[in-house]
Structure 1
Amino acid sequence: METSFNIPNLGKPEIKSPLNLSTVKGDKIFNFVEDEESLVYDLSLKEYERCLNTGSDPLCLEVAGPRESIFFNPEETSAAIVTCGGLCPGINNVIRGTVMALYYFYKVRKIYGIPFGFEGLNPEKGHEFRVLNPDEVKEIHQFGGTVLGSSRGAQSVEVMVDTLVEKKIDILFAIGGDGTLKGANAIATEINKRGLKIAVVGIPKTIDNDIDLIDKSFGFETAFDIASPILRDAHNEATGANKGVAIVKLMGRDSGFIAASAALAMPVVNFVLVPEMNFELYGEGGFLEVLDQRLKNKGHAVIVVAEGAGQHLFEQKEKVKDASGNIQHQDIGILLKDVINKEFKGELGGVKYIDPSYIIRSAPANSSDSIYCSRLAYHAVHGAMAGKTMFVAGERNGRFVYLPIDAVTQKRKKINLEGEFWFSVLQSTGQPFQMP
C-alpha cells in the first residue's frame, strides 16, 4: 500500500480562478476546494483504532474540485485530449465534458484532439491534431466509440514529448485504462526530466472496472446494463428446448465484474465463471457434473463466462500479447460449447453460444454513466488548471478525489471470492462455491 497519495504540482498557483464561486468561509459554503482538504482512504473501524493506538495519521486522499488560484493562464493555455486502448461506453461523454469545462469554466480556447491514441503524438504516423470546441462536441455523447479514434501499443516517449513541445501543449488529458495510464505517467516523467511545465492528467477508462483504488470506472454500468437483456434472451433460448443450454461470454480479461454484475441485474443465470476463480471441468464436483445435475433438475441452464476465465483449461502454449502488452486469451466460450456438446453427446436440446462483446463496448453511455463521465471530466479539468500533474480523477467512497497515476496502476482490482459481492452472485445463481 502507498504511504502517501500526494499529487505533484508544476508550481505555485498564483492566478485568480475565473470561476465565480463564493469564497466566504464562516457559516457560508466555501465552494472552492483547498489543497489541504482531504478524505480518509480507509473508513474501517479497524483502521480508525489503529491510528488512535499508534498516534499515526490516517492515509488521506486529496479532494477533487475547483481551486481559488490556478497555475495556468487560461488565455495562454493549450490543452489536448487523447483516447487510447479498447472502446468503452462514455469516451465521447468524457471528451465532451473536458472540452465544455475548459471552454466555459476557464475560457480556454486552444483545445485539440489527438487522433488515434498515442499514435497521434508520433509525427511519422501522419495524423493531424483536430481543433475542438463546444460546437464540435455538442452531440458526440449520443454515439459510442470515440470521435478521436483510438489505438493500442506504445510510441517513443521522447518523440511524444517532443510533439507536445512542438505543438505548445500545456495540458494533456489521457483517457484510457491501465496501459494508457502507465504511458501517460511515462510521458509525465520525461516532461519532469526536461523541466517542462506540462500537466499530464489521466481519466481512467476500463470497461472491466479493474482500475485499483477507485469505486468504479466509466462505461462499466452501461456494459452490464446492456448485457442484462441479452441474458434474458439467452434464458428464453435455453428454456425453449428440453435440456437447453445458453452460454454468454462477456468482457473481463482479468476481472469478472461485468459477468457477475450482469448476472445479479438479470437473475436468470445459473453459472457465472470469472477469471478470479479456479474451476475444473471434469471429476467429482467439477463443472460438467454440476451442470448435469442442474439439467436433470431444472431442464435448462444459462452460463455466463468472462473472457479471461478458465485459461488454465487450455493446453499450455506460448503466450501471445496484443499491441498493448495484454495477454491474448483463448476463447473460453467456444471451449465450453465444444466440451458440453461432446460430453452430453446429443442429449441436449441445443447449446447456444452468444458473444456480444463488441456490441456492448461500442454502445453509447447510459444515463448513469453519462452523468459520471461529465463529472469525471470536470474534476480532471479543475485539477489540471491548478497545475496538478501525474494524477487521475476518480471516485472513492462516494467522493471525487485525485490519486497519483502510479498508485492506481500498481495492480488490477479483482473480485474478492470471499466477499459479500461474490456471495450475492452465488446466492443468485445457486452454483456451488467451488467446482471442485
Structure 2
Amino acid sequence: MRQEGDMGNTELDFTIERLGECHIPSPVKGIRFVDDDGRVLYHSHLQEMKPWLDEGIHPPAMEAAGPREKVFFDPSRIACGIVTCGGICPGLNDVIRSIVLSLCHHYCVQKIYGFRFGYEGLVQRYGHKPLELTADSVAQIHEIGGTILGSSRGPQEPSEMVKTLEDLNVGILFTIGGDGTQRGAQKIAEEATRRGLEISVIGIPKTIDNDISYIQATFGFETAVAEARRATYAAHTEADAARNSISLVKLMGRDSGFIAAYSVLVNSHVNFCLVPEARFTLDGLLRALKERLERRGHAVVVVAEGAGQNLMEATAERDASGNIKYGDIGIFLRDAIRDYFRKASLEINLKYIDPSYIIRSMPANPHDAAFCLLLGQSAVHAGMSGRTNMVVSFWNREFTHVPITLAVSQRKKIDTSSMLWNSVLAVTGQPDMM
C-alpha cells in the first residue's frame, strides 16, 4: 500500500538505530517474541515490488514491532519518562496508560516519570515537577479526554532536556506528539548520543490530522471522524429543514484533508468537500453552490482548516510550534457566501458549525482505545530492546518501526488521483475542478 502523495520511494532506508546488543533475557512471559529479522513489506502490490524483484534484491520493508527475547536495559536499574506535546487529541491518556501498564506489568520497571506541559517539563528552570506514574495512578485515565500530563508547543534546548534525563537516570523517553514533537525527539536522541549516554528515545506519533509520513493511521483519527460525523449529520438536518439553506462545517486539517474526506464518506450527506490538497477558486465554488441550491434547495459544505489559504491574505506569523498561522477559512467562506447571495438578491439560510475543539477533547472510541493500547505496548518493547530515534508505525495492518528522519521528512497528504479522493468526488457530486 503506497503512501498517499508523491513520496518518491525509490530508495528507502528503514534501518533503526540501536544502543547496543541485547544480552538480558526478557522478563515478559507467556507471549510470542518477534524475531529481529522480522520485516513488514512497504509495498503491498506485486507490480510495485517488481523493480526490486527483477534485480534479485529485497524490496523495501519496515522492521516489525513487538517484544524481543532479549532486551538491552535492565528493568530493575532504569527509570522511564513520558511526555505529551502539541495540541490535545483523543487517545492521549490511553497511550500514557498503555505505556505505564506495560512497563509495570511486563517489565517490572519501578520508576516512571510523567513530564508536565510538554518539553517544558524536561527543562528544570521552568520548575514543572514530574509526576511519578504507577499502574494505580493511571488505572482510570483512559475514561477522560486530554492528557493528564498537560502539553505545550515549541522547542526547548536539547542539552537542557538531556541533562534532566541524565539526572533522573531515565533510560527510555517516550515522546507522544506530531512531527514537531518528533523533530524535538530526534534532537534529544542526537544530543544523548553526542554525550555518550545510553538513552532510548521512542516516538508515538500523535496527529489528529493523520498526516505523518510512513504511518497509515495515527491514534485519535478514527474518533475524530466519528465525532465529525455528528457535525455533518447536524449540518444536513439543518440544511434540509429550510428553503435555500446552506450548512458550512469547518473541520481540522492544516495541510492534509483526511478528516474532511472521511467525514464525507461516512454518511453521504456532504455536497462539497474542500481540502488543502485540491485548490479551488472562490468564484467556482460560489457558482457551483448556487447551481446546487437551484437544483436541490439545500447544500452542506465541509472545509478543512488549511483549505483555500491562497484566497486570503498571506501571513508570515508562526505559532510556538513553528507552523504558519493560517487564516480562518470557515469565517472567510461564511462571509463570502453571504455577500455573494445578497448581491444575487437570493435569500439563504446559512448555518456555520465549527466543532474542532469539541472533537479534540473527546475520549477515544473503542477502536482507537485498542489501537492506543497496542501502540503503547509496541513503544515499550522497542525502548526496552535499545532501539532509539524512531517512532512506532502502523503499516499494512502491522505495527512497525520507522526512523524519525523518515517520519518527519514531509507531511502525508491526500493524493487527488487516488481512489479516496475519487470516492469523495463521487459521493459529493462536486465538480473535480472548481
Q: State the TM bucket, normalised to the shorter chain.
A: over 0.9
Question: Per the alignment, in what secondary structure is the counterpart of residue 75 of structure 1?
Answer: coil
Aligned to 2:28: 19
Does the 8 Å CA contact 2:25/2:71 hold for their aligned counterparts? yes
CA RMSD of aligned residues (A): 1.0
Aligned to 2:360: 361
Q: Distance in 1 between matches of 2:49 and 2:332?
A: 48
Question: Per the alignment, in what secondary structure is the counterpart of residue 137 of structure 1?
Answer: coil
Aligned to 2:292: 294
Does the 8 Å CA contact 1:244/1:348 hold for their aligned counterparts? no
Deviation at 1:333, TM superposition (A): 0.6
Deviations 1:332-356 (A, max 9, x none): 1111111111110162331111111
Q: Distance in 1 between matches of 2:433 and 2:112?
A: 52
Question: Per the alignment, in what secondary structure is the counterpart of residue 170 of structure 1?
Answer: strand
Match of 2:12 among 3, 21, 31: 3
Question: Per the alignment, in what secondary structure is the counterpart of residue 156 of structure 2?
Answer: coil
Does the 8 Å CA contact 1:72/1:385 hold for their aligned counterparts? yes
Does the 8 Å CA contact 2:40/2:396 hold for their aligned counterparts? no
Q: Distance in 2 between matches of 1:315 and 1:84?
A: 30
Aligned to 2:384: 385
Deviation at 1:239, TM superposition (A): 1.5
Q: Extract structure 1 runs of 4+ deviating beyond 6 A.
A: none
Aligned to 1:427: 426
Aligned to 1:148: 149
Deviation at 1:241, TM superposition (A): 1.4
Aligned to 1:80: 81
Query: What is the TM-score with the length of structure 2 in the denominator?
Result: 0.96
Number of residue equivalences:
423
Q: Structure 1: which 5+ residue stretches go unaligned?
A: 23-30
Does the 8 Å CA contact 1:235/1:246 hold for their aligned counterparts? yes
Deviation at 1:166, TM superposition (A): 1.1
| Bigger shift: residues 43-52 or 130-139 | 43-52
Does the 8 Å CA contact 1:281/1:288 hold for their aligned counterparts? yes
Q: Distance in 2 between matches of 1:89 and 1:351?
A: 30
Structure 1 counterpart of 2:144, one-letter code: F
1:153-302 equivalent positions in 2, closer than 5 A:
153-282=154-283, 286-302=284-300
Structure 1 counterpart of 2:302, one-letter code: V
Q: Distance in 2 between matches of 1:182 and 1:78?
A: 23
Aligned to 2:307: 309
Aligned to 1:135: 136
Q: Distance in 1 between matches of 2:122 and 2:313?
A: 40
Q: Distance in 2 between matches of 1:58 and 1:82?
A: 35
Aligned to 2:70: 69
Structure 1 counterpart of 2:426, one-letter code: Q
Does the 8 Å CA contact 1:208/1:252 hold for their aligned counterparts? yes
Aligned to 2:5: none
Aligned to 2:117: 116
Does the 8 Å CA contact 1:269/1:429 hold for their aligned counterparts? yes
Q: Structure 2: which 5+ residue stretches go unaligned?
A: 1-8
Aligned to 2:417: 418
Q: Distance in 1 between matches of 2:30 and 2:93?
A: 28
Structure 1 counterpart of 2:306, one-letter code: G
For the pair 1:375 / 2:374, whether they are aligned, the reply is yes
| Bigger shift: residues 135-144 or 43-52 | 43-52
Q: Distance in 1 between matches of 2:267 and 2:192?
A: 47
Q: Distance in 2 between matches of 1:116 and 1:19?
A: 32
Deviations 1:208-236 (A, max 9, x none): 00011111100000001011011111111
Q: Distance in 1 between matches of 2:73 and 2:125?
A: 30
Q: Distance in 2 between matches of 1:348 and 1:104?
A: 64
Query: What is the TM-score with the length of structure 1 in the denominator?
Result: 0.96
Q: Distance in 1 between matches of 2:396 and 2:294?
A: 44
Structure 2 counterpart of 1:292, one-letter code: K
**Identity among equivalent pairs (%):** 50
Aligned to 1:57: 58
Deviations 1:170-213 (A, max 9, x none): 11000000000000001000111111100000000000000111
Aligned to 1:336: 333
Structure 2 counterpart of 1:87, one-letter code: I
Deviations 1:78-113 (A, max 9, x none): 000000000000000000000000000000110110
Question: Per the alignment, in what secondary structure is the counterpart of residue 402 of structure 1?
Answer: strand
Deviations 1:13-37 (A, max 9, x none): 1000011246xxxxxxxx1111111
Deviation at 1:267, TM superposition (A): 1.3
Q: Distance in 1 between matches of 2:155 and 2:430?
A: 42
Question: Per the alignment, in what secondary structure is the counterpart of residue 432 of structure 2?
Answer: coil
Does the 8 Å CA contact 2:25/2:69 hold for their aligned counterparts? yes
Q: Distance in 2 between matches of 1:33 and 1:154?
A: 35
Does the 8 Å CA contact 2:341/2:348 hold for their aligned counterparts? no
Structure 2 counterpart of 1:404, one-letter code: P
Deviations 1:42-81 (A, max 9, x none): 1222233212222222111111000000011111120000
Structure 2 counterpart of 1:307, one-letter code: E
Match of 2:317 among 301, 316, 320: 320
Deviation at 1:39, TM superposition (A): 1.8
Structure 2 counterpart of 1:297, one-letter code: R
Question: Per the alignment, in what secondary structure is the counterpart of residue 18 of structure 2?
Answer: coil
